[in-house]
A = this chain, B = another copy of it.
């Protein structure tokens, strides 16, 4: 259960996008009819995706981390207190998959991506990302250098 690979998918004029078979297969077997899209909390113009179960699990961990064990009652009542799980939830949408594996991309996400005719789907282990193809290109180049530097920096055999 891990999202891998990067795949360029068409965004047709009806706003539909195919969730590739490789990604569909990573959704829980008992819940393949829908998944969650949500805005990246740190990178504007990036959209994340996950299974409903995966997204909910993340929110749960988030609340435990941010609020401690007794936080659930407080967060349910105190609208003034900042709730990171609530923040993510507001920027998220459950989208249902058509039988053929496609979904209609909500307009807000199309806008965020500034996608015109294609979307780059990128597997990031326990979630996946939707990128504007051009922006992904740039991001990828930057990450390649960081990765090389990171590996060189690993304290290891030679040195």
> What is A's interface to B at a CB cutoff of 8 Å?
2-6, 22, 36, 38, 40-43, 46, 48, 56, 58-59, 61-62, 65-66, 73, 76-94, 122-127, 129, 140, 143-144, 146-148, 150-151, 154
Contacts and interface: CB of A to CB of B under 8 A. Distances in A.
A79 B125 contact: no
A123 B4 contact: no
Contacts of A84: 147, 150
Contact of A89 (B22, B89, B124): B124
10 contacts: A4-B36, A4-B90, A41-B79, A42-B151, A61-B73, A62-B73, A82-B143, A82-B147, A87-B143, A89-B123
This chain's copy number in the assembly:
2
A112 to B, nearest CB: 13
Across the A-B interface, the 7 shortest Cβ-Cβ residue pairs: A42-B80, A86-B124, A4-B92, A40-B79, A5-B93, A82-B146, A43-B79
A98 B62 CA distance: 37
B6 A42 contact: no
Contacts of A22: 93-94
Contacts of A125: 59, 85-86, 89
A2 B89 contact: yes
Contacts of A56: 2
Contacts of A3: 89
Of A4, A80, A91, A93, most buried by chain B (CB within 10 Å of CB) is A4
Contacts of A48: 79
Given A4-B36, A22-B94, A48-B79, A148 B86 contact: no
